[in-house]
Amino acid sequence: MKVDGSHYRTIWYNEEDGVVQIIDQRALPFKLIVEDLPTVDDVALAISEMHVRGAGLIGATAGFGMFLAALENPETIEEQAVKLKATRPTAVNLAWAVDRQLKAINNAQTPLDKQKVAFQTAQDIANEDAAACKKIGEHGLQLIKDIATKKDGPVNILTHCNAGWLAFVDYGTATSPIYAAHEAGIPVHVWVEETRPRNQGASLTAWELQSHGIPHTIIVDNAGGHVMQKGMVDLVLVGSDRTTVTGDVANKIGTYKTALAAKDNNIPFYVALPSSTFDWNLEDGNQIPIEERNPDEVTAITGLHNNEQIKITLSHPNSPAKNYGFDVTPRRLVSGLITERGICNAEKESILNLFPQSLSSGLPPSTRNV
Ligand code: MRU
């Protein structure tokens, strides 16, 4: 997507300097910083410390990490694969990308061939992610069009966290239909839930939307139900970090409450995801591993003060905190899944109608024990 007129992806290989580069998302929305990732260890740190985040981008970054592993020492790629998979547990794209790389690298014979195939696979994973997100935009656009024809004024869409282009390689999932609608001249307005504790909504989604001139308003997470009750939301669009083959959806903490409020107010609640986010081996959302992060993300908050990013404490040091990164929205609350192959119901039969080969091919592989 464009930032100040220049096209950016969230990750790329800089051929000239021979280095993997990313946008360091910790500095947004205040600064656009490009960071070099020269080694596998740098890649692992960038994922675990959330310089990059979002299911698709985590997968693409791990794909490039495996390329660097093949460059560093093809003999140790199995160890490096374990290290990369351990960086974050919930988004299934991570293990999916690492396993895809392992298979490709192990099939190659010489060290040079292993490096070549790892490079090509990393590029393929990134390109396929971008292409899938673009398709999601085309399919999701119809939902917005349908609403637009039945009302005056903008279509009001509520989203949670950041399932925008920053969470993928390009376009995003939840935001892709919004960008497509904006381009098609359909007036849209987006309610952006701030998404405590790390505020991906306020700092990333809102930044994306303002960069593209899309009208939006940031609200605290607790206000989502209120704006729905007041008739100010036509559609909820969110992303997913892992979706079971039966349609249960793990997404950023707070999504479940947003889905409950949408159900109570008869507002369609759609989840947009590329097929790399399905866990074809899981039937029950309760089995999805939920990441727990450092409690200081809850008891402190980061922001800009005198042009410097600082962290301030919110609570008494004696008060313990828990930091659950994700929750699971059961399929009964999901109106539909927007994928690169079209829209389906959040149920096994409908999902497998769109992706008939997936169960037998075992792709993406099980990551239940990651
Ligand atoms: O913890 P994060 O920022 O990596 O969480 C991922 C997310 O941004 C959300 O859960 C998002 O809605 C889906 S990921 C594409």
Confidence tier at 210 by pLDDT (50, 70, 90): very high
Total residues found in the chain within this entry: 370
CA–centroid distance, 91 to ligand 1, in Å, is 8
Q: Which atom of ligand 1 is nearest to the CA of 162?
A: 8
Residue with tokens 């409950």: 260
CA–centroid distance, 362 to ligand 1, in Å, is 24
How do beta strands 336-339 and 269-272 pair?
parallel
Go through the domains of the chain in sequence order and give each one's CATH number: 2-128 (1.20.120.420), 142-361 (3.40.50.10470)
Determine the pLDDT at residue 2: 82
Does ligand 1 lie within 6 Å of residue 239's CB atom?
yes
Q: Is the pTM of this model over 0.85?
A: yes
pLDDT tens for residues 163-205?
A: 999 999 999 999 999 999 999 999 999 999 999 999 999 999 9
Please choose from 57, 159, 251 the residue to mutate so as to test ligand 1's pocket, defined by most ligand atoms within 8 A of CB.
251
Does ligand 1 lie within 6 Å of residue 200's CB atom?
yes
Mean pLDDT of 77-94: 97
Does ligand 1 lie within 6 Å of residue 254's CB atom?
no
Determine the pLDDT at residue 365: 39
By mean pLDDT, which of 80-84, 148-152, 183-187, 358-362 is the weakest? 358-362
Q: Dihedrals φ, ψ of 93, to 5°? A: -60, -30
Mean pLDDT of 295-324: 97
For residue 18, pLDDT beyond 50: yes
Burial 188-227 (b: 16+ CB within 10 A, else e): bbbbbbbbbbbbbbbbbbbbbbebbebebebbebeebbeb
Confidence tier at 4 by pLDDT (50, 70, 90): confident
When the pLDDT of each residue in the chain is averaged and rounded to a whole number, the result is: 95
Locate the DSSP E strands across 103-233.
Answer: 155-160, 188-193, 216-219
Confidence tier at 357 by pLDDT (50, 70, 90): confident
Determine the pLDDT at residue 3: 87
Does ligand 1 lie within 6 Å of residue 275's CB atom?
no
Determine the pLDDT at residue 360: 57
241 labelled catalytic: yes
Does ligand 1 lie within 6 Å of residue 250's CB atom?
no
For residue 367, pLDDT beyond 50: no
Please identify which of the residues 170, 241, 248, 327 carries the catalytic annotation: 241
Mean pLDDT of 56-65: 98
CA–centroid distance, 208 to ligand 1, in Å, is 15
For residue 318, pLDDT beyond 50: yes
Mean pLDDT of 210-216: 96
Mean pLDDT of 280-292: 97
Does ligand 1 lie within 6 Å of residue 252's CB atom?
yes
Confidence tier at 370 by pLDDT (50, 70, 90): very low
Nearest to 204 by CA among 188, 187, 192, 215: 192
Determine the pLDDT at residue 134: 98
Output 74 or 272, whichever has higher pLDDT: 272
pLDDT tens for residues 245-271?
A: 999 999 999 999 999 999 999 999 999
Nearest residue (by CA) to ligand 1, atom 5, is: 54
Mean pLDDT of 106-116: 96
Stated as kind and residue range, the H or E segment containing 301 is strand 300-305
Does ligand 1 lie within 6 Å of residue 167's CB atom?
yes
Determine the pLDDT at residue 6: 86
